[in-house]
Amino acid sequence: MSDFYQNGIVTVLHRLGQPNVEQLESELERHSTVNPIALVLPSTYAELERPALKTIVATLEKIRYLNEIVVTLGQASALEFRKAKDYFKALPQDVHIVWVDGPRIQGMLKELIGQEIDIGLPGKGQSCWLAFGYVLARRRSKVIALHDCDILSYDRQYLARLCYPVTNPNLGYEFCKGYYSRVTDRLHGRVTRLFLTPLIRSLQLLVGPQPMLTFLDSFRYPLAGEFAMVSELARINRIPGDWGLEVGVLAEVHRNCALRRICQADLADAYDHKHQSLSADDPEAGLLKMCVDITKSLFRNLASEGVVLSEGILKTLRATYLQTAQEAARRYEDDAMINSLRFDRHQERTAIEAFLKGIKLATETFLANPLGIPLISNWSRVTDAVPDIFGRLVEAVEEDLQRKP
């Protein structure tokens, strides 16, 4: 971003002046002796066959300030798990792969269910939770960074700028959220531009100023998949098990972390990753499912803060959202024109209509069951219920890596 404006209530750390990735990496090497860094990579086996992860691995080979890398591998057979171990051998760091679908991990998850521990549904949320637990169990890192494995434009500066605010003890941040410009020859980021931000601002009009809404609206890209945090937050934060992960994580950070300890960092001039289809007719796929899950997560987090979301308010919300989103689309069209970017007005309106449908579906689900699917239990509760779980988790991962039967 080309400005230095501090918007909202969350500190913004911009990209200003000349590129300085070498200096940041040098400082990170020094600071990581005090605050060792673990990088978490939630992945499915399919990612290993795509070009984005190859670029990420090739870049990580040159990074020296990471203490360990934890890959949570989902949707993988035993053969694919063995292939994944070979795939990540190129990395010089201390790499550990958590085979989510393996019998050892699945056996542990079933036992936790028997102890009435909420483990969520299979997916990114559960994978992140398992990785955080494994890092906590090993007790070798004080900072945990996470990013997706589908970043096509991955670069060294992404990780350096993400880790630096939390790793540098002189800054004192406990949580850093990444942000970036989602632009190629056109504007991307429809779910943030046309859905989440208009939805948050519509709710502010209807229910008045609310600390959580103000907090969420202060993030330039609240749905970014990149964040870094101190390990203690990974111990106490609960995690949603669906597409509401990013909003749910921010809501937990809002509850558990002082505002002055939270920041957002500009990671890059441009960012590109695998684009989801709209799936306007299928609420179980694509951006429509994302919209439904995010809306439910937002509603439930507001309700937990004491905000009354009556049926009347939620019906009015759809009309308010539609007007707010259409005005946002007009602004983005003007922004595209002055930058000579492609802009498809019909596609933008189609997306808004799909998101409006998603809000309706989420509203019906929320009114029928305001609690919904429980959040994944935090690791503080898990270790209280099963005191030896950390030792067993480390043992299970190590046995899988050593190919023991």
Residue 262: DSSP 8-state: E
What lies within 8 Å, CB to CB, of 362 at 6+ separation is 291, 292, 293, 295, 296, 299
Helix (H, G, I), strand (E, B) or coil at 11: strand
Q: How far apart are CA 88 and CA 121, in angstroms?
A: 26
Q: What pLDDT does 273 receive?
A: 64
**Contact call for residues 308 and 212 (beta carbons, < 8 A):** no
Nearest to 389 by CA among 130, 141, 143: 130
Angle made by CA atoms 41, 44, 50, in degrees to the nearest 5: 90
Neighbours of 50 (CB within 10 A): 14
Would you write out the chain's pLDDT as a tens digit for each of its 405 residues?
457 889 899 999 999 988 899 999 999 999 999 999 999 999 999 999 999 999 999 999 999 999 999 999 999 999 999 999 999 999 999 999 999 999 999 999 999 999 999 998 898 999 999 999 999 999 999 999 999 999 999 999 999 999 999 999 999 999 999 999 888 889 998 999 999 999 999 999 999 989 999 999 999 999 998 999 999 999 999 988 666 789 999 999 999 999 999 999 999 887 776 656 666 666 666 788 889 999 999 999 999 999 999 999 999 999 999 999 999 999 999 999 999 999 999 999 999 999 999 999 999 999 999 887 788 999 999 999 999 999 999 999 999 999 744
What local confidence, expressed as pLDDT, does residue 352 receive? 96
Q: How far is residue 232's CA from residue 127's CA, in Å, rounded to a whole number?
A: 18
- Residue 376: DSSP 8-state: B
Q: Which residues pair with 36 in a beta bridge?
A: none
Residue in the block written with tokens 């637990």: 133
Biggest distance spanned by C-alpha atoms of the chain? 62
Name the β-bridge partners of 70: 40, 96
Does pTM top 0.85 for this prediction? yes
Q: Give the three-state DSSP class for 147.
A: coil
Contact between 219 and 179 (Cβ < 8 Å):
yes
Single-letter amino acid code for the residue at 273: H
- Among residues 13, 10, 76, 342, which one has the least CA distance to residue 1? 13
The torsion angles phi and psi of 112, rounded to 5 degrees, stand at -65, -40
DSSP, res 196:
I
